[in-house]
Amino acid sequence: MSLPEFSINNPTDQWERFCKLLWFDNDLKMWLDISRMKISQKDLDDLQPRLKSALISLDELEAGSFANQDENRQVGHYWLRNSNIAPTSSIKDKIDHEITHIEQFGQKILNGTINSPDGNKFTDVLWIGIGGSGLGPSLIINALQEFNKGLNIHFIDNVDPTGINQTLQVIKSNLKTTLFVVVSKSGSTPEPRIGMEESRSFLEFHGGHWPSQSIAITMEDSHLHQQADKEDWLTVFDMPDWVGGRTSITSAVGLLPAALIGTDIRKFLAGASHMDQLTRRKDYIDNPACLLAICWMVAGKGKGARDMVVLPYRDRLEVFSRYLQQLIMESLGKKLDRKGNLVNQGLSVYGNKGSTDQHAYVQQLRDGIDNYFATFIEVLKDESILGSKSETKPGEYLSGFLQGTRHALTDAGKQSVTISMNDFDQIRLGALISLFERTVGIYAELIDINAYHQPGVEAGKKAATAI
């Protein structure tokens, strides 16, 4: 059956498009509907050889190719959730050991086996990290923490003195039962170093003992690692050389905060690994990352000519659009392609959450400039509100708002993708993150750019250092 053209006036054609393009996984209970994107049969046919080549490149990446040519590094974040595919037994053993270390450490903190210097249980965490080292943990906490479970997590992710001071004042009453986590891969990045110095000074001024309350997440033998060893900090977790900040959420950067709020890190990794497996499929119609990459390619004409508006209809995914901003824009926003041609590639990402967006910028999305495509994310399960005797079901209204907004956009000729999940938990979060990581990898191959280096970021750092 050839794919009918996108048509808002022909329900039969749209139904056929839906049936042909819908992807579904029974284990995850997750759906991807791209039928509202203006993709033609010719687009699918033309991209098929390039998709095949892109999937081969991802296979080579997972096998250990040095994809980050600027820094002569492998790119191994996929190994973190399935150590069996790591290229060497030593890497596999290190990954397995680290997961167990994180899991056991989190349990000891929560059950009081490891206590604060005054003998009380730890109550809070001050997380000090920048970029993916802050966004990843923030997504984990926002998406997975249950009410009144685990430690209270606070963040210093900037060098704004007002922000640092306000955060320190918030934890002041629990200062001596606060864990301080410093995340810096190189150990020399200015922002986390400054955040660490200010926090340490504040703690010690009020009588706390930094080494007994502090953890480092860093590369082996970095300056930060050496400092933590020398001063005998509580522990050090590894951030491997072959993991980039924007793809570090399945490393200690994401697993430690998950462990400290009492969530099951094995389930989170299993969800990511399961989606990795699904997105290795060679038939594009059965591979959700291929389908998303096709949408990005066709909508933006292979040049990022359309923005992506992320509209998750759950509060737990409020941070997800910011997380995707870094993952996608840092990976795809490149001046040169692999051949050295000037291409100025990228894909702009913005979003908030539903149904908040319906009272914010949906007006422009429907009636304004046609320079975007929307990505709706929905959770079908309608949770009851504890103690409520109202006959009103908020989940039904939320679903109605999503469907109404999507219909209004389609009716105006605007394009959208919908990702649906029957439920939302650690497994689905892991799968969702992996889906977009894999899509970034495939799309980067289609447009022939290196998704795994960041020369623009490095240039900014050098300029700032000079100033």
C-alpha to C-alpha distance for 92 and 103, rounded to whole angstroms: 17
Residue 29 appears among annotated catalytic residues: no
Extract the tokens encoding 73. 């590094």
Alpha carbons within 13 angstroms on the beta-carbon side of residue 321 total 22
Radius of gyration of the chain (CA): 23
- The whole-angstrom separation of Cα 257 and Cα 183 is 12
Whether the Cβ atoms of residue 379 and residue 29 lie closer than 8 Å to each other: no
First-to-final CA distance of the chain: 61
Cα–Cα dist 190/196, whole Å: 10
Cα–Cα distance measured from residue 373 to residue 409, given in angstroms and rounded to the nearest whole number? 10
Phi first, then psi, for residue 312 (nearest 5°) are -80, 130
The owner of tokens 């150990």 is: 187
Element (H, E) at 211: helix 210-213
CA 66/CA 72 separation, integer angstroms: 6
The one-letter amino acid code at 110 reads L
Query: Among 230, 339, 359, 389, which one carries the catalytic annotation?
Result: 359
The two tokens of residue 96 are 């397995």
Name residues whose C-beta falls within 8 Å of residue 215's C-beta, 6 or more positions apart in sequence.
179, 180, 181, 182, 233, 234, 235, 236, 237, 256
CA 399 to chain centre: 24
| CA nearest neighbour of 139 among 37, 222, 255, 43 | 255
Catalytic residue from among 330, 378, 437, 445:
330
How far is residue 109's CA from residue 116's CA, in Å, rounded to a whole number? 9
Taking each continuous run of H as one helix and of E as one strand, the counts in the chain are 16, 11
Output the CA–CA distances (angstroms, integers) from residue 257 to 91, 139, 214, 312, 362, in the order listed: 23, 10, 14, 22, 34
Question: What's the one-letter identity of residue 260?
Answer: L
Asked if 29 and 432 count as a contact pair (C-beta separation under 8 A), the reply is no
Say which of 20, 223, 335, 461 is annotated catalytic: 461
Q: Specify whether 461 is catalytic.
A: yes
Distances (CA, A) of 222 to 17, 90, 213: 53, 20, 20
Strand partners, 155: 127
Q: Which residues does the annotation mark as catalytic?
A: 330, 359, 461
